[in-house]
């Protein structure tokens, strides 16, 4: 039976690459979330082992919540992930999945992967650009858009994620090289 040796960072890279590709194709949101959450959790462990800056969503944000409320917050944060992975407590339940949380976890995972692996996969860059354009108020800076960026952003303004991805991934590959994506 054939097999492959794989590092944690290589596994994370592949999971995030697939999650982002599915995300931009508006395909399989549950799989996108599951892949994102799995890679996020491994990244969080690697990040903690290196005593690096705490990841935003599941570490830093939780630490800003009142101690008495932290467990409830964690449960809500992990609700979708746990529903998709387990059936021991809720086998007959129906879950309403709001996948906006996936976008935040995915952004945090991309940033942390790049920092820990010292790699800048083009697909990750495109997702981060999309996230920053969708949520500009979340950032302390408002980047001025050049004519080129405006042209690249045009599909975003029209709400077509697949077109945004297709146009921008080619540009990102030219800028960052083709590092596996």
Give the per-residue pLDDT at 116: 94
**Count of domains observed in the chain:** 1
pTM, two decimal places: 0.83
**What pLDDT does residue 61 have?**
74
- What is the per-residue pLDDT across 141-158, written as a single tens digit (0 to 9) for each? 665 555 555 555 555 555
Q: In terms of DSSP H, where are the helices of the chain?
A: 8-24, 29-49, 61-63, 70-85, 100-117, 122-134, 147-157, 161-176
1 lies in some domain: no
92-96, 148-152, 173-177: which range is least confident on average? 148-152
Could you identify the residue written with the tokens 């949380």? 101
Please give the residue range of the domain that contains residue 156. 8-176
In a domain, 95, yes or no: yes
Bigger pLDDT: 154 or 60? 60
Residue 3 lies in a domain: no
User: Pick the residue with more confidence: 103 or 132?
Assistant: 103
**29-49 helix and 8-24 helix, angle to the nearest 10 degrees:** 150
Residue 168 lies in a domain: yes
In a domain, 2, yes or no: no
């Amino acid at each position: 039976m054939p097999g492959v040796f794989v590092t944690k960072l290589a596994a994370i890279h592949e999971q995030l690459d697939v999650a982002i590709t599915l995300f931009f194709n508006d395909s399989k949101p549950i799989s996108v979330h599951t892949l994102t959450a799995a890679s996020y959790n491994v990244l969080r462990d690697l990040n903690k082992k290196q005593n690096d800056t705490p990841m935003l969503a599941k570490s830093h944000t939780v630490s800003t919540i009142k101690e008495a409320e932290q467990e409830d917050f964690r449960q809500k944060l992990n609700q979708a992930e746990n529903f998709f992975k387990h059936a021991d407590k809720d086998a007959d339940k129906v879950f309403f999945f709001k996948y906006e949380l996936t976008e935040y976890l995915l952004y945090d995972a991309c940033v942390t992967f790049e920092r820990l692996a010292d790699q800048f996969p083009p697909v990750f860059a495109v997702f981060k650009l999309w996230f920053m354009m969708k949520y500009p108020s979340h950032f302390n800076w408002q980047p001025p858009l050049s004519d080129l960026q405006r042209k690249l952003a045009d599909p975003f303004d029209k709400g077509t994620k697949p077109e945004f991805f297709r146009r921008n991934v080619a540009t990102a590959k030219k800028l960052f090289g083709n590092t596996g994506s």
